[in-house]
Amino acid sequence: MATATAVVQSLGAMVFLSDYLGVDGLLDTLSYTNAVTLARIACTSCMGAVAAHEAQQRPALCVVKGNLETVKAELREQLAAKPTVVFVQYSLGHNEDEDEFEAELANFMDQKLPPSTQVLGGSTMSLQCAWFPKNAANSKGVARQTTLDCRNRFERCEVALLAATFPEAKARAYHVMPKGAAKNNTSESDEEYSYSDMEDEDEENLLPDETQAKGGYGQTTKGGPPAAKTSSEDQLNELLNLEPAPKVVVVYDADRGSTTARVISKIQEAYPEAAIVGGVVMGRRVVAKRGQGALSNGRGVGALAISGNAPLFAMTCPFTGCVKTAEKTVATCMKSAAEMAAEKCQSILGALLFTCNARGSHMFGRDAKDAALFKAQFPRAPLMGFYAAGEIGPQVEDGAEHAFLRGNACLQGFTAVFGLFLVPSKHMPSAAFQRAMLHGEVQEAFADTR
């Protein structure tokens, strides 16, 4: 990124740079710059503004991790455009106060994220990241590769954040509370749920109790302006009646299966072609923030629905009883995903991972094996994930095609579910950019971008 920035800043004149690199080379160079640098380029001239605008029309994704201060700094370095969605995961240290941390998290989101960005996440108690640390060393002459880091619950609080920009997509976050959930109820001694419990639940327990909605759409709220008085039941009804229908729904669940199976079933029934992926968070708390509303947190089901050009596809890797077969299944699926993407002239921009907490060192002899297999196949694609107490994704039969799935989602166990962000390998320049670069109509192109 530093080299690309230096080239752009030193050459300055975009037309000359285009002659030097070609249009594709210029766009590739700009794709390595962050939002701060693009803003500076935009201030240099009308041509600079057109080029910076064009650079921000590409889908982009980054993963950052560390404490909140580190995340703020890394996000500033890596973020290229206003993120459409942000997924956040955190693991509290042994002596961390949960309410105090979530208040800091809410303040961070209010100050550092655009008001329109939709946020979903939870207390995952583990973090698995393939990312580009600011100070990571890279071999000379070798393309930059991600660094894999896996942390289980540890002494200090750490946060991981995946920010994605999809200029042609729209997103909306939801937090649906189960009926009768108590305020700030996070005790590990609370009632536990099993798959048999879900079968025995009354249908009325699926819909949340309106009294649980505080400040807009969840259990509690921290930071941000007061939100509209919308019940948690309204949240579910809105989620199930979206127009246009979402192509992607990502779910972070903090109920460990109490109402999750039925909620997932209803979402899939409402949107049969949608890719639904997610997992049950071990920390039993989800967080969600929709635009300018306050941060909602607590028990329940958090969902983020994405419509429009939402380039996420699901991939489910089941466990059939054999560890070697499980490892081979993931490796084969990754290879298949790479081949299928190449056939479509597309590439993997990044991924979310929801893997069973049983798929750790006890199964594979090392932590984050599923994440490592992803990195081996896609060494330059970021990934963020966690160990889940249940995984949400398309159910597949043994021997069936596992890559790029939509529909048939359910709550599963012992699986690794990937949400793969798939984008065109080559970006087609906009009409305004071509007008400026190829025909010299800079002022007209500049007006088109306003």
Q: Which of 31-40, 135-144, 149-158 has the lowest mean pLDDT?
A: 135-144
Decide if 115 contacts 234 (C-beta within 8 A).
no
pLDDT reading at 21 higher than 50: yes
Dihedral angle, C-alpha 395, 419, 364, 402, nearest 10 °: 40
pLDDT reading at 425 higher than 60: yes
Nearest to 259 by CA among 303, 210, 300, 214: 300
Q: How confident is the model at residue 20 (pLDDT cuts 50, 70, 90)?
A: low
- Each residue's pLDDT tens digit, 63-102: 999 999 999 999 988 888 899 999 999 998 777 788 888 8
pLDDT reading at 186 higher than 50: no
- Each residue's pLDDT tens digit, 405-418: 788 999 999 999 99
Mean pLDDT of 221-227: 46
* pLDDT for res 144: 80
Residue entry with tokens 């990934």 = 383
Structure tokens at 442: 């800079």
* pLDDT for res 193: 30
The pTM assigned to this predicted structure is 0.83
pLDDT reading at 404 higher than 70: yes
3 state SS of 361: helix
pLDDT reading at 375 higher than 90: yes
Alpha helices in 56-113 (DSSP H): 68-78, 98-112
Q: How confident is the model at residue 164 (pLDDT cuts 50, 70, 90)?
A: very high
Decide if 286 contacts 90 (C-beta within 8 A).
no
* pLDDT for res 399: 55
* pLDDT for res 214: 34
Q: Which of 150-164, 172-186, 353-367, 414-428 has the lowest mean pLDDT?
A: 172-186
Mean pLDDT of 191-198: 32
Q: How confident is the model at residue 17 (pLDDT cuts 50, 70, 90)?
A: low
Q: What percent of the chain has pLDDT over 70?
A: 77
Greater model confidence, 177 or 323: 323
pLDDT reading at 219 higher than 70: no
175: Cβ–Cβ under 8 A, 6 or more apart, which residues? 217, 218, 219, 232, 235, 286, 288, 296, 297, 298, 300, 301, 302, 303
Mean pLDDT of 54-69: 88
* pLDDT for res 154: 64
In sequence order, what DSSP letters do the residues of 314-342 get, joined into one string? EEEE---S-HHHHHHHHHHHHHHHHHHHH
Mean pLDDT of 8-13: 44
Give me the residue spans of the domains in the chain. 1-58+446-450, 118-154+169-426
User: Residue 237 CB: number of other CB atoms within 10 A?
Assistant: 12
Nearest to 315 by CA among 232, 271, 378: 378
Rounded-to-integer distance, Cα 76 and Cα 69, Å: 11
Mean pLDDT of the chain: 80
